[in-house]
């Protein structure tokens, strides 16, 4: 729509149109080519496990700082893998008549327990756990659902909340190991600081760390911010900005509104895709609300967004940092609230495993809007 047509709309139509534009601005999807290497690594792992015989299967652990896109990667891969799997059963039922659910996605609670993990998985299957069932009975129900529904990929997000210095957390971790041993499924973890926090070595140190099963069974896949040190990295950064430029819904948007400010945008976000998404989303909303209808340097200067350096400084504000300990760009970045993770809607309640076809079908990943 042109600016003149927008002005000629009545107030109600203009408000409805602006609301749709804001909704579009907050719905930036994942950039598929950005993490293609990680997707290929996950694809090879899953295919290898499908061909593996009985026994424990190898898994993957996506590790990185907040905002780097870990949840986006695993949920997008889950949708891609499910669509591929459903080609085998176009009627959405297994040969035995059970609901076919190849992918399970759950989040770890702040205080994880065996019973809590079982409840989360059964809720994903839309199975109401028995009120007085103990942990052993719930575990058997989880195993039964996964086998009947032929689940072959289980994604556990926010795994860093499982602090292995607590006994209950260690029990929950051992429970996941048991599920990985008993199920013919690939487990994929996603979390913050898994290597630095000791999760990969299960809290063990020194020579004992070599006994940790997680580091032996799970391949760590680092998820890092975008960099600009080489010509290839700079080209990737420009490509990301071009994708956002194509998705802008501003009436006065011009070519190179974003790519022309590539250096500035990188200094503001440090290459963190979550911070970039937050900055451009808020800038789009501000441009619509004020009627400016274009993202300019002045508009961006008025929007606060967190960066890794600024978050670290805020967390240690009681200590006066030395100049040499701070990146130069951190000294000029604006202070803002912590950026939220850039992730799509991915966790849904799915039908339970029954021989009869359920009357009501829940939405599935492959039916959701695709990314960029």
Q: Do 91 and 137 reside in the same domain of the chain?
A: yes
Same domain, 22 and 165: no
| 268-319 confidence digits (pLDDT tens) | 999 999 899 999 999 999 999 998 999 999 999 999 987 655 554 444 444 4
Residue 223 DSSP code: -
Tell me the per-residue pLDDT of 229-265, one tens digit each, with 9 for 90 and over: 999 999 999 999 999 998 888 999 998 999 999 999 9
Closest by CA position to 247, among listed 17, 4, 67, 26: 26
Residue 124 lies in a domain: yes
In a domain, 84, yes or no: yes
Quote the Cα angle for 171-176-182, to 5°: 125
Residue 59 sits in a domain whose CATH number is 3.40.50.300
Note the pLDDT of residue 53.
73
Residues 113-143: b if buried by 16+ CB within 10 A, e if exposed: ebbbbbbbbbebbbbebeeebeeeebbebbb
Tell me what pLDDT residue 293 has: 92
Q: Print burial letters for 183-210: b (CB count within 10 Å at least 16), e (below 16).
A: bbbbbbbbbbebeebbbbbbbbeeeeee
Q: Residue 149 domain-assigned?
A: yes
Q: Are residues 141 and 286 in the same domain?
A: no
Per-residue pLDDT at 351: 36
The answer on 166 and 129 residing in a single domain is yes
Q: Does 252 lie in the same domain as 114? A: no
Instruction: Let me know whether 73 and 199 are in one domain.
Output: yes
Q: What percent of the chain has pLDDT over 90?
A: 43
User: What is the number of structural domains in the chain?
Assistant: 2
321 confidence band (pLDDT: 50, 70, 90): very low
**Quick one: pLDDT at residue 130?**
78
Residue 336 lies in a domain: no
Partner residues linked to 156 by β-bridges: 106, 189
Backbone conformation region of residue 69, classed left if phi is above 0, alpha if psi is from -120 to 50, else beta: left
**What is residue 168's predicted lDDT score, i.e. its pLDDT?**
87
Query: Do 172 and 152 share a structural domain?
Result: yes
Q: Are residues 94 and 203 in the same domain?
A: yes
Range of the domain at 239: 3-30+230-269+273-303
pLDDT at 195: 83
Average pLDDT of the chain to the nearest whole number = 80
Residues 188, 156: contact at Cβ < 8 Å?
yes
In angstroms, the Cα distances linking 118 to 111, 122, 254, 301 are: 13, 6, 51, 47
Q: Which of 283, 303, 323 is the last residue of a domain?
A: 303
Q: Is residue 356 part of a domain?
A: yes
Is the domain of 39 the same as that of 26?
no
What pLDDT sits at residue 328?
Answer: 35
- What is residue 236's three-state secondary structure? helix
Q: What is the pLDDT of residues 7-35, one digit of tens each?
A: 888 889 988 988 998 888 887 666 777 88
The residue length of the chain stands at: 372
User: What pLDDT does 335 receive?
Assistant: 36
Q: For residue 204, what pLDDT is reported?
A: 67
Q: How confident is the model at residue 118 (pLDDT cuts 50, 70, 90)?
A: very high
Strand boundaries in the chain, DSSP class E: 59-64, 103-107, 153-157, 186-192, 218-222
194, 257: one domain: no
Whether residue 110 sits in one domain with residue 51: yes
**Which of the pair, 87 or 330, is modelled with greater confidence?**
87
């Amino acid at each position: 729509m042109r600016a003149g047509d927008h002005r000629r709309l009545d107030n109600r139509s203009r408000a409805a149109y602006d609301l749709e534009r804001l909704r579009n601005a907050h719905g930036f999807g994942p950039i598929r080519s950005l993490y293609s290497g990680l997707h290929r690594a996950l694809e090879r792992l899953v295919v290898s496990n499908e061909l593996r015989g009985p026994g424990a299967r190898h898994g993957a652990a996506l590790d990185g700082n907040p905002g780097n896109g870990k949840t986006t990667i695993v949920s997008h891969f889950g949708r891609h893998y499910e669509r591929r799997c459903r080609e085998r059963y176009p009627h959405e039922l297994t040969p035995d008549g059970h609901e076919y659910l190849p992918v399970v996605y759950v989040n770890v609670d702040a205080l994880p327990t065996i019973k809590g993990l079982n409840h989360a998985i059964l809720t994903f299957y839309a199975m109401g756990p028995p009120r007085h069932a103990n942990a052993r009975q719930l575990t058997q129900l989880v195993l039964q659902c996964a086998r009947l529904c032929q689940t072959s990929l289980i994604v556990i997000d926010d795994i860093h909340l499982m602090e292995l210095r607590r006994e209950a957390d260690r029990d929950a971790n051992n429970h996941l190991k048991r599920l990985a041993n008993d199920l013919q499924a690939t487990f994929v973890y996603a979390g913050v600081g898994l290597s630095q926090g000791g999760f990969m070595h299960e809290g063990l140190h020194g020579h004992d760390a070599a006994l940790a099963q997680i580091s032996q069974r799970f391949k760590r896949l680092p998820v890092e911010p975008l960099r600009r040190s080489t010509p290839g990295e700079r080209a990737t950064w420009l490509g990301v900005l071009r994708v956002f430029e194509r998705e802008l819904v501003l009436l006065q948007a011009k070519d190179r509104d974003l790519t022309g400010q590539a250096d500035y945008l990188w200094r503001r976000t440090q290459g963190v895709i979550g911070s970039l998404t937050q900055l451009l989303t808020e800038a789009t909303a501000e441009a619509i609300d004020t009627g400016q209808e274009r993202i300019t340097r002045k508009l961006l200067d008025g929007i606060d967004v967190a960066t890794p350096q600024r978050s670290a400084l805020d967390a240690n504000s009681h200590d006066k940092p030395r100049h040499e300990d701070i990146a130069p760009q951190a000294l000029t970045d604006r202070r803002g609230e912590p950026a939220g993770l850039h992730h799509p809607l991915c966790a849904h309640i799915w039908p339970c495993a029954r021989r009869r076809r359920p009357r009501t079908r829940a939405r599935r990943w492959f039916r959701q809007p695709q990314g960029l």
